[in-house]
Amino acid sequence: MTETITSRPVRTGPPATPALGGLGLFTVLLAAALPLVDFFIVNVALPTIGADLSASEAVLELVVAGYGVAYAVLLVLGGRLGDLFGRRRLFLGGMAAFGLTSLACGLAPDAWSLVTARAAQGASAAAMLPQVLATIQATTSGPRRAKAMGLYGATAGLSMVAGQILGGVLVAADIAGTGWRSVFLVNVPVVLVGLFLAARAVPETRSARPEPVDVPGTFLLAASILTLLVPLTEGRAAGWPLWTWLSLAAFPFAAAAFFAVERRADRAGRTPLVPPSLFAIVSLRRGLLLMVPFSIGFSGFMFVIAVALQQGAGLGPVAAGLALAPLAVVFFFFSLAGPRLVARYGTRVVPAGAALQGVGLALMTLAAWRSWPDLGLVELLPGAAVAGAGQALQLPVIMRVVLSEVPAVRAGVGSGVMVTTQQSSLALGVATLGTLFLSLVPGMGMRDALVTTLLIQLAGVALTGLLSLRLPRTIA
């Protein structure tokens, strides 16, 4: 009797990367929301924090800036470490650290302890967030990736508005007498749920060719961001001392040194922190250029409107937060329609969104001019709704464009570069438009300062619309 042996095909090559399921996508999007919510959640809580901790205006600005600067400085490094050691590992570690530092913020006994904890919270976010986009890039493709990236963009935009609304609600609710501390303590149970889900639903991925950490590039990138953002954020409140001007003067030299070191490493075949060759990708380069004015305007508006509604119009934290609820609701629904519109019209959706945002911003400017100081939900509703629709047609699409042609092996680096650009621009928006608004208030009054700042932002929206005309017509 002859025994028949059936041969089985032998699998060669690296093992297939596990796909990201629905629960895994929900988990990484939850993690993506946390850092952005926390960037904006303190805007309406700052007056209460200042009163409770006897904090000066300069220290309160550090509560915002310490988080934003630490976050921006370390994002690209976080993406590189995920490529090197495993994205799931960095994701879990970063999320756990984010929960612990949020707890430290909520329990801070004084203002400087809060500033320190906020900086540590920003560093934790920088370890966690780049892994979200890199995991999506590495575990999805085709329509599934397009859908996941659309949801990521929608989550990012909604989180920025929802953070401000949630901050107002939590401060007013004064849960168990925690007051402003609840805006940080609320992260703890969310992180615990996220860790539980991530351990079961987020697959491990890493770069097939992991690149070692570029130490000179890391230090020079940090120096570039710090010399620009810190003096712009602290300068006005500190009275523009000499160190702020020296720091701003050092910025172009630090940036030039960073670019020279990275280009030399790239040409020598080494692995720079931000490979200049990455910017040869037209979609990435043009998308990042577009993200800068969009993010500056977004964060600047959110900060300025929070201050104007509370200190000028006399609204409480809940009313000030809820005044932006129409923007958040409309943003959510229009972002869901975005992928279908992009499939039909391509990236021409972006300039259409810029036009809508401009109309909405003009309506809010008119409302501020005519209704001041009786400015609130009803007066801002038409403009906020139209602006929310316009923003929803821009941000998710821009993010898809930036990463559409980045190779999978450089997913972590590409994600880190995009999120660093976004976060630096968000911090720059608060530092520039926020500083301008607060500087104009003593001489012009709150209403005229608000109108002037909104008109400047309107010019930024026009710039975004013009730049968007240079995007590739279709998304790869």
pLDDT tens per residue across span 305-320: 888 888 888 888 788 8
Q: What is the pLDDT of residue 271?
A: 75
Residue 292 structure tokens: 């800068």
Residue 33 structure tokens: 């929301």
Q: Which of 5-14, 23-32, 215-224 has the lowest mean pLDDT?
A: 5-14
Q: What is the pLDDT of residue 42?
A: 83
Phi then psi dihedrals of residue 46, to 5 deg: -60, -45
AA identity, residue 161: V
Band (pLDDT 50/70/90 cuts) for residue 2 is very low
As a whole-number percent, the residues of the chain with pLDDT over 70 amount to 95
For residue 358, pLDDT over 90 is answered with yes
Band (pLDDT 50/70/90 cuts) for residue 10 is very low
CA atoms within 13 Å, Cβ hemisphere of 283: 18
Residue 23 structure tokens: 């629960």
Average pLDDT over every residue of 431-447: 89
Q: What is the pLDDT of residue 112?
A: 92
**pTM of the full predicted structure?**
0.82
Q: Which residue has the higher pLDDT, 400 or 108?
A: 108
d(CA 105, CA 172): 18
Band (pLDDT 50/70/90 cuts) for residue 476 is low
d(CA 19, CA 312): 51
For residue 470, pLDDT over 90 is answered with no
For residue 230, pLDDT over 80 is answered with yes
For residue 176, pLDDT over 60 is answered with yes
d(CA 210, CA 213): 10
- What are the tens digits of pLDDT across the range 202-215? 888 877 776 677 88
Q: Which of 266-275, 289-298, 345-354 has the lowest mean pLDDT?
A: 266-275
Q: What is the pLDDT of residue 95?
A: 95
For residue 459, pLDDT over 60 is answered with yes
Q: What is the pLDDT of residue 310?
A: 84
Q: What's the whole-number average pLDDT of the chain?
A: 86
Asked if 160 and 298 touch (Cβ cutoff 8 Å), the reply is yes
For residue 437, pLDDT over 60 is answered with yes
Among 189, 190, 194, 187, which residue's Cα sits nearest to residue 167? 187
Residue 457 structure tokens: 């932002």
For residue 14, pLDDT over 50 is answered with no
Asked if 61 and 114 touch (Cβ cutoff 8 Å), the reply is no
* Residue 32 CB-density burial (10 A; 0-12 exposed, 13-18 middle, 19+ buried): buried
Q: What is the pLDDT of residue 282?
A: 87
Among 134, 210, 194, 144, which residue's Cα sits nearest to residue 416? 134
Q: What is the pLDDT of residue 17?
A: 60
Q: What is the pLDDT of residue 9?
A: 45
Cα 279 to Cα 105, 285, 391, 402, 426, distances in angstroms: 38, 5, 25, 10, 21
Average pLDDT over every residue of 96-123: 94
Among 27, 214, 185, 24, which residue's Cα sits nearest to residue 108? 185
Q: Name the one residue in this structure whose structure tokens are 């208030």.
A: 441
d(CA 228, CA 178): 35
Q: Which of 125-134, 181-190, 270-279 has the lowest mean pLDDT?
A: 270-279
Residue 428 structure tokens: 């720059």
Band (pLDDT 50/70/90 cuts) for residue 275 is confident
Q: What is the pLDDT of residue 16?
A: 56
Q: Which residue has the higher pLDDT, 276 or 91?
A: 91
Residue 111 structure tokens: 């203002």
Q: How far is it between the farthest Cα atoms of the chain?
A: 103
Q: What is the pLDDT of residue 210?
A: 66
Q: How far is CA 41 from the centre of its chain?
A: 13
